[in-house]
Amino acid sequence: MANTFKNSKYIDVTTSVVTLYTVPSSTTTVLLGLMISNKNASARTVTVNWIDTSVHAATTTSLLNEVSIPGDTSLEVFAGQKIVLEATDVLKILASATSSIDATLSLMEIT
């Protein structure tokens, strides 16, 4: 089994749900951290959902739900925690305003 450290990022998150990361088939992923940066002077809200496709009927779990990020600041999510995703699970993100939020996900893929 190989362990590969990677990152996934989405620049200028939109007000529509977009995919931040999809676990490849035959892979387990350990989420190590998520940095969300607000590049605007005004506060913005962010929602991050995990779609667990490993169950019979895919379920959505909210990891962040309309969390406010003050202007010109960053929020570190999962600090000191680990979340394990299975093959084909998906992380999705959306923001309250377009072109204000950048998201960077740190992870380890186990193949």
Q: Residue 11: its pLDDT value, please?
A: 97
Cβ density class 74-102: b for 16+ within 10 Å, e for less: ebebeeeeebebeebbbbbbbbbeeebbb
Position 19, amino acid: T
The Cα 105–Cα 9 span in angstroms is 6
The predicted-structure confidence for 66-79, as pLDDT tens digits, reads as follows 999 999 999 999 88
Three-class SS state of 96:
coil
Is there a contact between 37 and 46 (Cβ–Cβ < 8 Å)?
Answer: no
Work out the percent of the chain whose per-residue pLDDT is above 70. Answer: 100
Over the stretch 54-106, which tens digit does the pLDDT of each residue have? Answer: 877 789 999 999 999 999 999 999 888 999 999 999 999 999 999 999 999 99
105, 89 in Cβ contact below 8 A? Answer: no
